[in-house]
A and B are shown apart, each in its own frame.
Chain A
Amino acid sequence: MPSSKRQWLWLLINIVVLAGIFTLVQYMIATRMLNQYYQINLAAMAINIILSVSLNLINGFTGQLSLGHAGFMAVGAYVSAICTKNMDLPFIIAIIAGCLAAALAGFIIGVPTLRLRGDYLAIATLGFGEIIRVILQNIEELGGPAGIVGISRLTTWPYLFGAIVFTIIIIQNLINSSFGRAIISVREDEVAAEMMGIHTTWYKVLAFMIGAGLAGLAGALFAHYFYIIKPETFNFLKSFDILVMVVLGGLGSTTGAVLAAIFITVLTAYLQAFPAVRMIIYALILVLVMIYRPQGMLGNKELTRKTFGRFWGGSA
């Protein structure tokens, strides 16, 4: 908790600025200053931020390369869509159900696979992500390949904003707790971490579950914004999209993941007419970042007040 007057002041400033941004965007939407096109991109951006921040917990902080993130997103999307469409439950309950279901899927998949290391894990998660998609495709009750059509649009800016704030607070607090130190030690040296008495598998599974749950959150928001979900949307290329954001932003930097998600969303919007070019740029980002700056844009550093203080030459 804040201890000095000065810290209280900063907390207050932060809250005011946050509230200000929220109100500003809400005002722009209400007055239609932001037209539908920009609103859609804003929603895509918010969903991408949640996805990249949550995958960063698994890939960046815990150091376990997961290529199945889109699968968890799918679970969240489907479960929440069923809740609102077939069971007429309130949206917030649907979101929670989607998160929990995705976390459960993360647990079921995590327990057997997280004992694997590095590249085996990558392939196994890729495989599981695809299995989730194949299963969804073959369940007639869920619409099969056509998916679920006609989901009500319940995702609004307050929900998106709230979800981002929630995700970042959860992840940041986890990282700065003993849990965070434990998973980072797993990333740095798994054997040494085990020696120090850290139950590595348990921590990996836990991180995996939290990441999957948050991906489920993103999925629920996605389903209730874009009206329609189908298995094909959540194929492994979607997982690669999320991976590109995490890698670009920095494996192990939340601010980096956020900035990269924003950048990639804008890039996608601008390159709409040239999708092949977009994918080539993605590919180059992956290769070049790994060769010249394997730690990503921000590495494992965070953009904080201090960084800016240094930048402006003042002392914060």
Chain B
Amino acid sequence: MVEFMQQMVNGLSLGAIYALIALGYTMVYGIILLINFAHGDIMMVGAYVGFFSITMLGSNVFVALLFAMLACAALGVLIEKIAYRPLRNSTRIAALITAIGASLFLEYVTIFFLTPEQRVFPAEAFPMHQYQIMGLYISNKDIFIIVLAVVLMVLLQYIVKRTRAGKAMRAVSLDQEAAVLMGISVDKTISFTFALGSALAAAAGVLIGIYYGTINPLMGIIPGLKAFVAAVLGGIGIIPGAMVGGFLMGILETMVSGYGSSMYRDAVAFGVLILILLIKPTGIFGRNESEKV
């Protein structure tokens, strides 16, 4: 039982990271129906910004988080402006290929300038404390990462449901043309969405740096893909869905490694994706809707 509880803790902290990345995916998909392949790489850039602000500016973790979120918000808006906006009216396949291009671009420009070697996140930035509760090993990092994920999600839900900008986002996602007629600036709203989603990805990047200790230019690929699966699992376009999906993915992977075989963990993630897509493509929280013609 202790072992099972320990696995739950492991799964929750892994899931918190997936959830944070999945939130960004879900928001962007919700508004322009695009899988932003570059999302995982924006997370990587965020991790590097956090790394440099800690090592070179000597800032603390919270300042580093802030810097990373601001820098990546700007980066997200820029990518949308340059790469995605010109394609808003072309085919989905074209937009998706562009997204793959943007992803490769971020990865290899980073490699070009910062070498492919991993960087070590300074351990002093976040002193670790270990707690032992009834045989369970929990660190302050686990708690920090889970709490931060939940706080950011609640904040996001508040923005989307309660603010004017959030209302505009929902309107654009529901019907772009009608939103224009209501006097909503679609461009501005989409930029805002990218800024928000990318800032969350940056937060996830810094958290990965703190939690695991190393970062590298290709770190965004696999968590990015898994987070996408999480977003689909929860119902893409739905904020609480991404959160639940992320935590579920984390727990599922942990259980597969813990009680099955660690070798098949990654295959299980993609297997879940395909099952979900076939059985209930709208995800756990999604409403069933037939595709509009």
Contacts and interface: CB of A to CB of B under 8 A. Distances in A.
Q: Are any A and B Cβ atoms less than 8 Å apart in their complex?
A: yes
Interface of A: 59, 63, 65, 112-113, 115-120, 122-124, 126-128, 130-131, 134-135, 137-138, 191, 240, 243, 247, 251, 276-277, 279-280, 282-287, 290-291, 294
B117 to A, nearest CB: 13
Contact of A138 (B109, B264, B274): B264
Contact of A119 (B34, B83, B270, B274): B34
A291 B98 contact: yes
Interface of B: 33-35, 83, 86-87, 90-98, 100-105, 107-109, 111-112, 116, 225, 228-229, 232, 263-264, 266-267, 269-271, 273-274, 277-278, 281, 291, 293
B108 A280 contact: yes
Contact of A276 (B100, B108, B270): B108
Nearest to B266: A134
Contacts, number: 117
Contacts of A118: 92-93, 96
Given A116-B281, A118-B92, A286-B100, A291 B112 contact: no
Contact of B104 (A126, A135, A282): A282
A126 B225 contact: yes
Contacts of B281: 116, 120
A122 B109 contact: no
B293 A290 contact: no
Secondary structure class of chain A's binding surface, majority of residues: helix
A285 B264 contact: no
Contact of A243 (B100, B103, B273): B100
Contact of B273 (A63, A119, A124): A124
Interface centre among A63, A112, A127 (most CB of B within 10 A): A127
A118 B99 CA distance: 14
A113 B93 contact: no
A63 B97 CA distance: 12
A112 B266 CA distance: 20
10 contacts: A63-B93, A65-B96, A116-B281, A130-B267, A135-B267, A243-B97, A283-B104, A283-B108, A286-B104, A287-B105
A138 B263 contact: yes
A188 to B, nearest CB: 11
Given A119-B34, A126-B225, A279-B107, A134 B98 contact: no
Contacts of A287: 83, 98, 101-102, 105
Contacts of B104: 240, 279-280, 282-283, 286
Interface centre among A65, A240, A277, A286 (most CB of B within 10 A): A286
Contacts of A123: 35, 225, 228-229, 232, 273
B185 to A, nearest CB: 22
Contacts of A115: 278
Given A191-B293, A283-B102, A290 B274 contact: no
A153 B94 CA distance: 39
Contact of A131 (B91, B105, B228, B270): B270
B112 A276 contact: yes
A99 B223 CA distance: 33
Contacts of A112: 274, 278
Contacts of A122: 35, 96
Interface centre among B94, B101, B291 (most CB of A within 10 A): B101
Nearest to A117: B291
Nearest to A63: B93
